[in-house]
Amino acid sequence: MGVEIERKFLVIGDGWRALGTGVLYRQGYLVASPRCSVRVRVVGEQGFITIKGATQGVSRSEFEYVIPLRDATELLDTLCQRPLIEKIRYRIPQDGVVWEVDEFLGENAGLIVAEVELTDPEQPLLLPEWIGSEVSADPRYFNVNLAQRPFREWGNTL
């Protein structure tokens, strides 16, 4: 079984922008429940399907598989819930980990979140200067929830 251990943070300032190159991600959900989610994603010219279990602290089960780009695109266009999640992801290696900074577009424009995958929930982590508040435990920031209640609908509740 695959396990994802991930922490999420809000991003402050623009100090991160020059540290990585962005890639467009389009993703949508076939299933979005508290027990599990099934996501379809297109990254560049590659398609993926991912099954994730319920989050327990900062961990959850995760199974991801490459699928044909044509299939992924058709699933996104015809079967996935709306709105789709669109974002530009920047991968930034720093202090032994890789930060993934997601600059959201569309219905989630204005939201920038950094996440980092760890090998252990208690792994020590040096936070770059552009990292703000931790939101790992706030389900509003889970992509599956951003597809159901986009950031633009939140008002001033950050």
Decide if 29 is catalytic.
yes
| Contact partners, residue 44, CB within 8 Å, separation at least 6 | 23, 24
Q: How far is CA 116 from CA 39, 49, 78, 123, in A?
A: 19, 20, 31, 11
Sequence-ordered list of residues with C-beta below 8 angstroms from that of 74, at least 6 positions apart, any chain:
none
3-state secondary structure of 74: helix
Strands (E), the chain: 3-11, 22-32, 36-43, 46-53, 59-67, 85-94, 97-104, 112-117, 131-134
Which member of 25, 29, 90, 141 is catalytic?
A: 29
Residues tagged active-site: 29
